[in-house]
Structure 1
Amino acid sequence: MKTSVGRFFAQGLAKMRSLWMALCIVVLATGAANAQSFAFSSFEVEGNLRVAEGTILTFGGLAPGAGLSLAELNTAGQNIRASGLFESVDLIPQGNRLLIRVVEYPTISRINIEGNNRLNDAQLLALVQSQPRRVFTAEQAEADTAAITEAYARQGRINASVTPRIIPQSDNRVDLVFEVVESPVTEVERISFVGNRVYSERRLRRVLETKQAGIFRFLVGRDTYSPERIAQDREALTDFYRSRGYIDFVLQNVDVSLTRERDAFLATYNLREGQKFSFGNTSLSSEIAGVDAADFTDLIGVRSGSTYSPVPVDVDITRIEREAAARGLNFVEVDARLSRNPRDLTIDVNYVLVSAERVFIERIDIEGNSTTLDRVIRNQFRAVEGDPLNSREIQESARRIRGLGFFEDVSVDTRAGTTPSQRIVDVNVTEGPTGTLTFGANFNTDNGASLLASYRQSNFQGRGQRLNFDFSTAETNQSFGFGFTEPQLLGRDLRGSFDLNYGTTDNENALYDTETLRLSPSVSFPVSEAGRLSVFYALEYTSLTDVSDDASIIIQEEEDAGGVWTNAVGYNYSFDSRRTGVNPTTGYVLRFGQEFGFGDTQFIKTTAFAGAETSVLNEEVTFRASVQGGLLNYQEGSSRVTDRFFLGSRLMRGFEAGGIGPRDADTLDALGGNAFSVLTLETEFPLGLPSEYGITGGAFIDYGAVWEVGETSTATVLSNDAIGRAVAGLSIFWDTPIGPLRFNFTEPLDVQDFDETRNFDVTISTSF
């Protein structure tokens, strides 16, 4: 029979109270005054089953013949109770003998969780501090109850109830049972803002990690209330405004309340935006004798008239301090002194070179990394033991450690060293999961539906290495990928990678199948704050198989060559302004690469991409523009359909797969081209729907072409020239919890006779 913990111990408390009153009566009846002392020649203990008599006397500090006052006798009883082993303790003087009557707490036989479905037994038992074969206490049981209740609250189930029960067993043992009544998720029903004039609620909600419950509330995890997530949102909202010039922005408070039915949260962000400031004059001066500020003036990147943000200021400071260190000027810091001009809403920035405290790093202590090796964390520090201490660089190192993504929490602090001129850097981390196993599905109108599986480990064996396996199978193709990356090759800022990819196609829209294998080791490294260069070697095998007799003579001739192995070396350069975060509303990306084939097959393959994006109308509308192209030039050998460029809907919308470009005049097989180029202009804008739906609209124009098959035998090739095609269209973007969906409705503006157009396509990608 289950007995509630409260009733069980209420009865014990009443019993203890009555026995204590009896003790007082006995003492008064024998004429013992408060000043009376006792001397007991013997002790008798009753009620102890597991605890030895000697142990109890030791707890109380009792010894035969020792004189005890009434206060000391009371203290002895309190000490025995403080052991936590007894439900009640009574000390009853009987002449020269002291009777100690105890009632031991029961021992826990088993601990069970009942009624739980959302959290399994292993998850909940890990929170319980009560243990089998140990003494049961009501206080610990109540603490365990609170821990389980809190675990459900973190999942958004704040109305879940947990009741501890005890089931008496023989030999003063009990079974401890936590009865759980789970509740539905208490969602964040509404997120609202008070005091926002510049940015709409829809735009501000996109900044927050917490999401408002929408039509997919049964799938979204971020629409549950979490105090930790709200704290992150406060910082994110503050960073959002201040990076856009609102330096006086204040988030006054976040009011979170429950509805009357206690089935949903209402979150209200009360804020004061302030006014928007721009950069005014910038200058650089020096307060260090012998250091000329003019030597560093060219390093200032902030420009007058641009929107104020602390990010470019921090970038300038870091750039100047590093240059000073490179010139051998240690213990130099840059103090950015800001001067407001309220009349024209500008901020003047004066970078001042000042002397820093002459302090060195004594050592770097790292704690909390049970899996990650120390060197992985140390590699994020630009300085080592014995170097001058730069507080800004320490903060940057902390950001880099957080950026690894290995840790749930990171703190980096300094404390006094063994001498006044030394500091110890303490790094405390809390490790989090770094591996993911993903199963998913993908659909697009080019390749149909496909199933995906991938495993990714971003901290392989605690060395900071990345390992990934990817597999996908679809109606028309299958692929397998393996990748391994060492981010600190040879202990330097060199990223070494090894990639292996294998794929086959079973083309339903072509009369042949393909097989490709590519193995490519590479090394990449930064060449500027936003630029990166990689060099690589590639070994590739391509094969055409199962070519139909009805296929193009060009493809049949390419099949006769059998499987072809190629060797190549190359490089890729990328420049991404978003890496610095200097302008949060505008970014641009440049990519350029070349691959040089050598050996029996010699070629140069060049690809380039340039894209830009900007947000206007208080970031409600986004404009994107991109231009990209490729050129494949063979000196020895010739290209095949496995090598040439094809324009699918990912690059050029409004066409079937292989529906644009050169094709055999007799069979109309798509042949691809040795050159292509595409220009895309696109905009995305709100449709006036509630933001929790995640639906926006878009419009686009694509203009592009693919051309030049190369030398052929007797076949006639259609559309082999660089003749551009143009399509326009409308898009609907739907950001769902199961993946982003995009619906494109297209209308051809300028196409060729043999092109295969498409008026609608849809893509969806999901993982679970």
Structure 2
Amino acid sequence: MKNLQIVLLIAAGSFLANAASANDGDFSIAPVGSVELAFGYNTEVGASVSGRLEHGQFLGGNHAISLGFALSADEQAYDLMLRGGDADAVGPTFEYVLGHASAKRQSTFGLDTTESFFKPRAVYNYGLSRVSLGAVLSKDEVSNAFAAPAVLRAEVGERNLYGLSAGYSREGSGGYYAASGEVLTSGDGIAFGKAELAARYKYKANQRGLVLEARFAAGTIGVMQGSTSVIDRFVPSSGALRGFEAGGFGSVDASGTHVGSTNYAVVSFGARQKGLIASLPDLSLGAFVDLGSAWGFDSGGDPLRAQVDDAAKLRSSAGFTIGQNFGPGHIELVVAFPLQHESADRLQELQLNFTTKF
């Protein structure tokens, strides 16, 4: 067993406000916000805690605030979003997102990273669709790369980037689709564009609890000038391709160290069925097949970067899941069998997740 992950959402509540009825003057209670707190444990990164506070009437009606954080021994991340205007209006409404993240990525890359950003954007809502247009201002740094391979040590330093962003999403009828992109430059030698697509679909095949699922995600980076940093490139997250650890596949240098990729694509198909065991009606049994790859690395004519093995190599896995609801909680065991992988890949055959919300 390479990885064990348990997440417990221990507190969730809502803020309530009195709203006067236009008909009889009575007061009813309506939620205007929520607060959530979660604790987790992972055998690789240790304990973690995360939370989010949301309030839909901050500084009066039609103003919202969202504050989130995620903390572990190796990573700390914070974000603050302020929105002015009615979120359900066609638009535009205006959102202002401020964030900071720092990570000790010694076990993955042999270095540390920090990033701070400010993203103001205009948001247009069209029923089930949402369109956003905005700007990006960021400052990041790669540091403490003493244990990193030479190709990553060359990326040590600070950068100031700015640019434009755009996004589109639509959700409904069991499906979700999203596309986003950024064009960033330092103004003195670095310029690149980054785009991502995501889609998922869920279909209830019968009344007995059979659910069919499919998901797809892909991204690409195009470099116009200079070269990317490990902060920019794509690193597979946990669960992106079951059977592989977070950051466990993709482009590697001559020593076999993963260095991030400029392209990725992952597709997954799965099925889950409840009620197969009469005495355990909330027990679900499922099966899945995952396929994907992460490839590409911009060399920019640098001989050291040109040594990176960035070929597109298919990875695949298959497995099964066992899930059980316990009141407001859910526990799921994921058993994955990597079918196609490379020698430098880090595999993860077993994962256990527990979540609850109340």
TM-score with structure 2 length normalisation? 0.85
Distance 2:30 2:217 in 1: 39
The alpha-carbon deviation at position 577 of structure 1 amounts to: 2.4
Q: What is the match of residue 221 of structure 2?
A: 632
Which amino acid is 1:543 matched to? E
Residue-by-residue CA offset, 1:62-101 (whole Å, 9 max, x unaligned): xxxxxxxxxxxxxxxxxxxxxxxxxxxxxxxxxxxxxxxx
Q: What aligned pairs does 1:716-727 form with structure 2 within 5 A after superposition?
A: 717=307, 719-727=309-317
The alpha-carbon deviation at position 727 of structure 1 amounts to: 0.4
Q: Does 1:688 align with 2:287?
A: no
Quickly say closer, same or farther: Cα 1:483–1:635, change in 2 above 3 A: same
Q: Does 1:749 align with 2:339?
A: yes
Quick check: 1:530–1:577 contact (8 Å CA) kept in 2? yes
Q: Does 1:569 align with 2:168?
A: no
Of residues 153, 170, 181 in structure 2, which corresponds to 1:556?
153
Q: What is the match of residue 589 of structure 1?
A: 176
SS of the residue 2:137 aligns to = strand
TM-score with structure 1 length normalisation? 0.41
SS of the residue 1:714 aligns to = helix
Q: Does 1:473 align with 2:68?
A: no
Unaligned runs of 5+ in 2: 1-9
Q: What is the match of residue 324 of structure 1?
A: none
The alpha-carbon deviation at position 449 of structure 1 amounts to: 2.7
Of residues 708, 711, 732 in structure 1, which corresponds to 2:322?
732
Of residues 637, 641, 644 in structure 1, which corresponds to 2:233?
644
| Percent identity of equivalent pairs | 21
Between Structure 1 and Structure 2, which shows a larger proportion of strand residues? 2
Q: Does 1:671 align with 2:268?
A: no
Of residues 666, 683, 708 in structure 1, which corresponds to 2:296?
708
Residue-by-residue CA offset, 1:133-164 (whole Å, 9 max, x unaligned): xxxxxxxxxxxxxxxxxxxxxxxxxxxxxxxx
The alpha-carbon deviation at position 440 of structure 1 amounts to: 2.2
The alpha-carbon deviation at position 682 of structure 1 amounts to: 1.1
Unaligned runs of 5+ in 1: 1-218, 222-404, 414-425, 579-586
Quick check: 2:90–2:125 contact (8 Å CA) kept in 1? no
Q: What aligned pairs does 1:75-114 form with structure 2 within 5 A after superposition?
A: none
Which amino acid is 1:760 matched to? L
Q: What aligned pairs does 1:62-141 form with structure 2 within 5 A after superposition?
A: none
Quickly say closer, same or farther: Cα 1:542–1:594, change in 2 above 3 A: same
Q: Does 1:495 align with 2:90?
A: no
The alpha-carbon deviation at position 498 of structure 1 amounts to: 1.0
Q: What is the match of residue 197 of structure 2?
A: 608
Distance 1:533 1:469 in 2: 22
| Alignment coverage as a number of residue pairs | 341
Q: CA RMSD in A?
A: 2.9
Q: What aligned pairs does 1:510-525 form with structure 2 within 5 A after superposition?
A: 510=108, 511-525=110-124
Residue-by-residue CA offset, 1:525-568 (whole Å, 9 max, x unaligned): 124x32221111111122111112x4211110001xx1111112
Quickly say closer, same or farther: Cα 1:689–1:429, change in 2 above 3 A: farther
Q: What aligned pairs does 1:224-623 form with structure 2 within 5 A after superposition?
A: 429-444=27-42, 447-488=45-86, 493-510=91-108, 511-527=110-126, 529-548=127-146, 550-559=147-156, 562-578=157-173, 587-598=174-185, 599-600=187-188, 601-618=190-207, 620-623=209-212
SS of the residue 1:646 aligns to = coil
Q: Which has the higher contact order (CA 8 A, sep 6+)?
A: 2
The alpha-carbon deviation at position 738 of structure 1 amounts to: 6.4
Distance 1:483 1:726 in 2: 37
The alpha-carbon deviation at position 632 of structure 1 amounts to: 0.7
Quick check: 1:444–1:762 contact (8 Å CA) kept in 2? no
SS of the residue 2:230 aligns to = coil
Distance 2:272 2:78 in 1: 34
Distance 1:508 1:740 in 2: 33
Between Structure 1 and Structure 2, which shows a larger proportion of helix residues? 1
Which amino acid is 2:38 matched to? G
The alpha-carbon deviation at position 764 of structure 1 amounts to: 3.6
The alpha-carbon deviation at position 678 of structure 1 amounts to: 0.3
Distance 2:351 2:322 in 1: 11
Residue-by-residue CA offset, 1:205-231 (whole Å, 9 max, x unaligned): xxxxxxxxxxxxxx9x9xxxxxxxxxx
Distance 1:766 1:448 in 2: 19
Structure 1 window deviating more from structure 2 (437-446 vs 453-462): it is 437-446
The alpha-carbon deviation at position 504 of structure 1 amounts to: 0.8
